[in-house]
Structure 1
């Protein structure tokens, strides 16, 4: 029962993720104190740190797969998880074991509790402890490299205690405005908080406002910048339900033609971003390793086809940019022009902008409440989405899913489920089969 005990303890630490908070309440100093008390494992794990609004998770995952194919023992820290906490901490193809996690939690718990009693900065949070667990695990397992997906923002995020060999920032857009800022420039400044003096930065294509802010921070810190649009080129030759066939080149490194299995032009950009990071980390071009990695790419919850008859698609899109990518992918890869939507959101999302994206594309909408205390109450959304398409509220997600599926079948349309990672519980069985695991879904 080590694992279940560990989960109860970790979930008992959740506070900021359940209620509203100010970004200034996050204290990087508290995370630094925790790591000091643990012997600073983050300084002994070679690390690549990846921030951004859109694509940071996919880029981190793809980079991790390529590093595996190159023969490295590679750790990956990502969040949030879909069905099991163990997804957050993995080495190569293997999630951290339940008993391994339990032993690490037993080790870290006295330190966390002592900080709660004696530190003026207070008790570490759920996310801070999770990041610390990842560093301890990767150090104990002697990984060659760890890829860390930054959580909220960057400047004050717990992952920012690391000492990265390289940093990367994927496209920055509007998200978490309640805590990060009300403009792209303000959000970009928070993301740019991961930039280190003299440490290389790989920068994805950005809107002008975000690019200006990030480049200025890099200039002030004398961080060399490699820009995606100057180094990566691709042409998509065909798109279908299996992915995209494309020709691509990473300048002064390598070129090839590939079948890329994730759906969406945005995922193609994430693919090239991961390859560019490989180049900047100093690895040579190995076409056979890259192609071998692509045959094993599987990233659940990212425009995932759950069923073909009826056609049901699940995506973790939760902001305007990701919904725009979802809409374009449904059209360009799957030939979908109209769909029934089942939507659920957490607090702090720019739901108005999401509704605009769905205009003319959604035939009907069912709004529900995701499986999290941070859920946005669906009743507050009906007037907003009714301007886009006929909208109904079904509070219970399982009942909403059954209702939306029946509605889609009746109208002869696909069903698209989106808006939150916390709707993944609806597809626990399908996701567990991809992960090749069998265990109960874990809330929070």
Structure 2
């Protein structure tokens, strides 16, 4: 069987025997799994990043900063956009299919031993991914790891590591069914990544959340560094893919070129630089080359003339609307939009609908997106020209034929990932049709 065939077979095993959307809280399974594997997470210097928003960007920035300062590094991310390989980075690139298969097979031996102990001990999909990440990190013999928390912090399966620095980017009400109904409760869950004697870097957040985290840090003898108090960032200019910022922390670095777009990156740049500064001396040239190259697919990214970005909740939609005005002022705009059924469609479309001259409503490739007709009806309230095209690839082809000056695909990340694959490769790869979403 070809390597690619082995890769698809491995994915089928993971998606269908380790259900993708099943969540298991608690650390005893991942601890047991890693113990059987010889604790591959020990002896590595980790940055550990959580937050309601921004954690993917900060984890990415830290990975690039580490690499451009001359160190080997792995990165761990979730979810992925177009391929599961995006979850595992080595020196800022995705790992290969063969490395993925090797890591999955290694974990499988131990996971299946645990399966025999009963459902409660059977590792979940995310626990399996986490164990694979630590295996890859050990096999690559790297110095550093940059790790994004999957959900929350305290009981997240990444929380078995000992970090150089813990990072909490933002706190807002999200995953309330799991993490709690107030920002204070959510802050307590995220503060679970603060470790004894290890510094913690905080972004902007409500005072109630800040107080909870500070109390936990005090109990753990962890020094706290706050955005706006211990370090700040100021924008010099916003230009698509060529943004510029100044950083003032222990060091001052001016005119940092940042490829990632959006005013919110100001906070992420500062949080990443402060976190890295606590673990390593900053080199100005290395900092600039890291931020100039740091990249996340599908985050206000232009591919073949189409801007791709997720607007799957009201906060993200407001940022998207702000960025459209910032980078594409006074231009005629058309977009393809699709969203899954359990999201706040009304408030997302209220934010972005008026920004478009034409909006094509489609169905994201997810079992959770059946009510596209409902999305269409809501969209008509907020945009004057709305077209319904349930097939996403036909919707994109229609978008590309329009004469508008700026074109976008937004909404669900399932949609953005699917369309990105089509725009880059001219087709949808077999992996995306497996139904892992």
CA shift for structure 1 position 297: 2.7
Q: Which residue does the alignment assign to 1:15?
A: 19
Give the match's secondary structure for 2:250: coil
Instruction: State the aligned residue count.
Output: 427
CA shift for structure 1 position 290: 1.3
**Per-residue CA shift, 1:170-205, capped at 9, x if unaligned?**
122233344434443333333222222332111011
Gaps (5+ residues) in structure 2?
none
Is 2:8 the partner of 1:4?
yes
Give the match's secondary structure for 2:98: helix
The RMSD of aligned alpha carbons is 2.6
**Per-residue CA shift, 1:371-430, capped at 9, x if unaligned?**
233446323434443332254543322223234444xx25x3533212222121212155
- Is the 2:353–2:382 contact (alpha carbons within 8 Å) kept by the matching residues of 1? yes
CA shift for structure 1 position 119: 3.9
Is 2:412 the partner of 1:417?
no
Quick one: structure 1 residues 376 and 362, their matched pair in 2 at CA, closer, same or farther if it must change by over 3 Å? farther
Q: Which of 267, 289, 292 matches 1:292?
A: 289
Normalising by the residue count of structure 2, what TM-score does the alignment of the two structures yield? Answer: 0.88
Q: 1-side partners of 2:405 and 2:206: how far apart?
A: 34
CA shift for structure 1 position 337: 6.6
Give the match's secondary structure for 2:238: strand
Matches within 5 A, 1:171-182: 171-182=170-181
Normalising by the residue count of structure 1, what TM-score does the alignment of the two structures yield? Answer: 0.87
- Is the 1:344–1:419 contact (alpha carbons within 8 Å) kept by the matching residues of 2? yes
Gaps (5+ residues) in structure 1?
none
Q: Which of 323, 326, 351 matches 2:320?
A: 326
Q: Which residue does the alignment assign to 1:29?
A: 28
Q: Which residue does the alignment assign to 1:400?
A: 395
Matches within 5 A, 1:83-162: 83-119=82-118, 121-162=120-161
CA shift for structure 1 position 145: 0.6
- Is the 2:168–2:203 contact (alpha carbons within 8 Å) kept by the matching residues of 1? yes
Q: Which residue does the alignment assign to 1:210?
A: 209
CA shift for structure 1 position 441: 4.7
Matches within 5 A, 1:244-259: 244-246=243-245, 248-259=246-257
CA shift for structure 1 position 52: 0.9
Q: Which residue does the alignment assign to 2:307?
A: 313
Q: Which of 335, 341, 344 matches 2:335?
A: 341
Quick one: structure 1 residues 39 and 379, their matched pair in 2 at CA, closer, same or farther if it must change by over 3 Å? farther
Quick one: structure 1 residues 373 and 113, their matched pair in 2 at CA, closer, same or farther if it must change by over 3 Å? farther
- Is the 1:240–1:334 contact (alpha carbons within 8 Å) kept by the matching residues of 2? no
Q: Which residue does the alignment assign to 1:69?
A: 68
Quick one: structure 1 residues 12 and 174, their matched pair in 2 at CA, closer, same or farther if it must change by over 3 Å? same
**Per-residue CA shift, 1:337-361, capped at 9, x if unaligned?**
7643322234543334323322532
- Is the 2:47–2:62 contact (alpha carbons within 8 Å) kept by the matching residues of 1? no
Q: Which residue does the alignment assign to 1:56?
A: 55
Most deviating of 367-376 and 266-275: 367-376
**Per-residue CA shift, 1:94-131, capped at 9, x if unaligned?**
32222222122222212212222214623211111011
Q: 1-side partners of 2:188 and 2:361: how far apart?
A: 33
Q: 2-side partners of 1:80 and 1:177: how far apart?
A: 19
**Per-residue CA shift, 1:187-245, capped at 9, x if unaligned?**
33332222223321110111334323333332343322111211333332322224223
Give the match's secondary structure for 1:252: coil
Q: 2-side partners of 1:225 and 1:371: how far apart?
A: 42
Quick one: structure 1 residues 15 and 392, their matched pair in 2 at CA, closer, same or farther if it must change by over 3 Å? farther
Q: 2-side partners of 1:228 and 1:345: how far apart?
A: 33
